Amino acid sequence: MPEPFRLDYRRKAFEELQGLPKADQQRVRRRIGELRSDPRPPGSEKYKGDEHTWKIRVGNYRILYVIDFQQRLVSITRVAYGHAAYRRF
């Protein structure tokens, strides 16, 4: 079994996650945790605004992240409600 990916939160993403209601925080955290074993799970898509950024939906929230396969690192860049996630970060 390959080594799991490490997770890194950019400051803005961490602050956005902390600002979510507790129940939503738990759902989003669980989904982010799943990215450790599969950073491109079913439902994930490349973000059209940046070739290195991926996005995944959790209910009404969007998680934007960058995958570094060489370092086995997933960097969470945004966690926001709906289309607000796509505003420049």
How does pLDDT run across 56-81, given as a tens digit for each residue? 999 999 999 999 999 999 999 999 98
CATH 3.30.2310.20 fits 6-83, yes or no: yes
How does pLDDT run across 12-30, given as a tens digit for each residue? 999 999 999 999 999 999 9
The pLDDT score that the predictor gives to residue 51 is: 79
Q: Where are the domains of the chain?
A: 6-83
The pLDDT score that the predictor gives to residue 47 is: 86
| pLDDT, greater one: 4 or 86 | 4
pTM (2 decimals)? 0.88
**Residue 12 CA to its chain's centroid (Å):** 12
Q: How would you class 33 by CB atoms within 10 Å of its CB: exposed for 0-12, middle for 13-18, buried for 19 or more?
A: exposed
What letter does residue 5 receive in the DSSP assignment?
P
- For 51, the token pair is 């070739």
The pLDDT score that the predictor gives to residue 20 is: 95
